[in-house]
């Protein structure tokens, strides 16, 4: 299994604008459930801490294998979501890891 974690900051000149963009991001990614082979789990969370170094949104997803995650990158449904969201993000951070792998 591979965990794919992505964090974003999103555009929004007001709290209302930012909240609307977070909702759009959430709905777009949630639409992937059941449509991408090898995608085992998908969860979207919006930040509640409001600390200045926090990201606005996190995607926590699990894939059955590295090959499934690799295929996700070019899957038509994932590409659709990327098009829907356009330039909504202002920053993006990612970590992919195998939870069973031990550090050396």
DSSP state of 103: P
pLDDT reported for residue 50: 86
pLDDT along the chain (104 residues), means of 10: 98 95 97 98 96 96 98 98 95 96 75
pLDDT reported for residue 70: 98
pLDDT reported for residue 102: 74
Give the angle subtended at the CA of 17 by the CAs of 36 and 73, to the nearest 5°. Answer: 20
Residues of the chain by 3-state class (helix, strand, coil), percent to 5: 35, 30, 35
What CATH class has 2-97? alpha beta
pLDDT reported for residue 38: 98
């Amino acid at each position: 299994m591979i965990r794919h974690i992505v964090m974003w900051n999103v555009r929004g000149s007001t709290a209302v604008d930012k909240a609307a963009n977070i909702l759009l991001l959430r709905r777009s990614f949630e639409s992937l459930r059941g449509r991408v082979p090898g995608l085992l789990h998908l969860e979207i969370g919006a930040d509640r801490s409001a600390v200045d170094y926090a990201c606005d949104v996190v995607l926590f997803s699990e894939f059955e294998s590295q090959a499934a995650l690799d295929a996700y990158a070019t899957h038509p449904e994932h590409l659709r979501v990327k098009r829907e969201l356009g330039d909504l993000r202002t920053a993006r951070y990612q970590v992919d890891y195998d939870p069973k792998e031990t550090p050396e």
